[in-house]
Amino acid sequence: MMLQNLLERAIAAWGQGFSLTKRFIQSGWQHADSALPQSHNHRKWVIVGFFSFPVLGAVVAIAGSVQNSPVDSALGNPDVVVEAVELNLADQGVYTFDPLVAEERIRRGDTLVGLLERMGVNTAGLATFLGQDKTARNLVNLRAGRVLTVQQTADGDLQWLRYKSGIDEDSQESILIQKRNGQFVAKLESVNFEKQIVFRSGRIESSLFAAADKAGMPDSVAIQLTEIFGSDIDFHRELQKGDEFKVVYEDLTLEGRSARSGRVLAVEFVNNNKPYKAYWFAPSGNRNAGYYNEEGRSLKKSFLRSPLAFSRISSGFTPRRFHPIQQRWKAHNGVDYAAPTGTPIMATASGTVKFSGWQNGYGNFVEIQHHSGYSTAYAHLSRFGKGVKVGQKVEQGDVIGYVGATGWATGPHLHYEFRVNRVPKNPLSITVAQAEPLDRNAFSEFKRVQLALDRRMELATAQRLARAQ
């Protein structure tokens, strides 16, 4: 009889515990259902069952202990007290609804409130806060391409958001908005990047960017390659299927995640079976820092091969060409590069701006005077680069304007001229002089750097071959 009473009380307690557990679970799932797809609903019963088994096990254990307890024999028929046991659900690792952290890349035209609503975040009161707080006001104009990180509850309430507003080589400034006691607060954070060295290799099948994507290499690194070898390889005309590259570059991480790529440290590019190598090297005292070939010669030459990173040649240098607008035969004293409107145009060499403005059929026009009687001209620009005025000093690679179709032009393109003592020459056939090599002490230092980087490039090749197997 004693055993029967005990079992009845234990079972009743188990039923009460199950009921409480069930109500707790159901309450939790009422909050979670809105955040989970319908297909996940079956997981409720798995969790309920998980909670049931320990309680049921406790009942069986009690029954067994009562039946065999020596205390029962001594006391006869004692009162049995069943205590409610609180389950620490967090310790069980079963039922937790942690705040949700998500990232969203900003699109052109996005507003902060609109972006958060797209992410399913409750934005009540945020618009008013943005208008009142001086720091938060910087979030009114978001830059496309950057990332917004947001933490929200399962109910969609905003806990904090972080917008990476400023970037330099090693650190970045972020705006952090938090919700404390129902009120928004904003502050600026300065976060330091961590540098990692990454090595990649690839093979050209269709384009440089396609090969970079396949190798897991950012587009920004591919663009650096075109800049490094801009005086040696014409990426408009000379890139071929089967060309290969090996690259060692910096990857800047933030909170354990890749934030952006850094500087290319070493690269080997095989173009038409001819290898080109470049190594970033800063001699002691940071004198003449830049890219050098394996012989220790600077890759920075007098003139770039092209004023555009990527485009196609639509018309070459020729003494006789039928003009599409004037409808007559005349000389074409430059090279036309077809490219979308707004494509940046680089100065092919350092010099001084001689002319900047409108010039008849050239439209928006820039002429730069270089050393030794050399000059270059850039025509049909949609607009000029910042600060490009007569007398302004420009460095090789500076953006001096943007592709357009002003003047006598049938479509967006750049008309580029190369002149020697004001006589037009074919830009595609000019010969640029080699730079002077490093001195003996700097060269010894360079060779040590080169050896270490060469080892990393060989690892890049080994990785690619391993993936291909």
Tens digit of pLDDT at every position of the chain (469 positions):
544 554 455 555 545 544 444 444 444 444 434 333 333 333 333 333 333 334 334 433 433 433 443 333 333 444 444 334 343 433 333 333 345 778 787 887 888 888 888 888 888 888 889 888 988 888 878 877 777 888 888 888 888 988 876 544 455 678 889 988 888 999 887 767 788 889 899 999 988 989 999 998 988 899 889 888 877 787 877 889 999 999 999 988 766 667 678 899 999 999 999 999 999 998 876 567 889 988 888 877 768 878 987 667 877 666 555 556 555 555 678 889 999 999 999 998 888 999 999 998 899 999 999 877 889 999 999 999 988 999 999 988 899 999 999 998 888 999 999 988 888 888 887 765 555 667 788 888 899 999 989 888 888 777 767 766 6
Question: pLDDT tens across 8-20, in order?
Answer: 555 555 455 444 4
90 Cβ contact list (under 8 Å, min separation 6): 96
Instruction: Indicate the residue type of 228.
Output: I
Q: Which of 318, 337, 449 is nearest to 404 (CA)?
A: 337
302 Cβ contact list (under 8 Å, min separation 6): 349, 370, 371, 374, 432, 433
Report the distance separating Cα 448 and Cα 436, nearest Å: 20
pLDDT for position 323? 52
pLDDT for position 89? 35
Instruction: Indicate the residue type of 194.
Output: E
pLDDT for position 4? 52
Report the distance separating Cα 172 and Cα 165, nearest Å: 7
DSSP bridge pairs for 398: none
pLDDT for position 252? 80
Helices and strands: H and E segment counts in the chain: 9, 22
Question: Which of 349-388 are b and which e, b meaning 16 or more Cβ less than 10 Å from the residue's Cβ?
Answer: bbbebeebeeeeebbbbbbbebeeebbbbbbbbbebbeeb
pLDDT for position 45? 35
Q: Which of 394, 412, 297, 413 is nearest to 349 (CA)?
A: 394
Q: Under CATH, which architecture does the 312-429 domain have?
A: Distorted Sandwich (2.70)
DSSP bridge pairs for 242: none
DSSP bridge pairs for 401: 345, 384
Residue 331 host element (H or E)? strand 329-332
Report the distance separating Cα 317 and Cα 335, nearest Å: 5
Question: pLDDT tens across 44-98, in order?
Answer: 333 333 333 343 344 334 334 334 433 333 334 444 443 343 434 333 333 333 4
pLDDT for position 25? 41
Instruction: Report the CATH fold assignment for 100-192.
Output: Nuclear Transport Factor 2; Chain: A, (3.10.450)
pLDDT for position 365? 96
Q: Report CA Rg, the chain.
A: 35
CATH number belonging to the domain at 194-301+437-469, selected among 3.10.450.350, 3.40.1160.10, 3.30.70.600, 2.60.40.150: 3.10.450.350
Residue 128 host element (H or E)? helix 126-132
pLDDT for position 171? 52
pLDDT for position 387? 87
Report the distance separating Cα 290 and Cα 395, nearest Å: 14
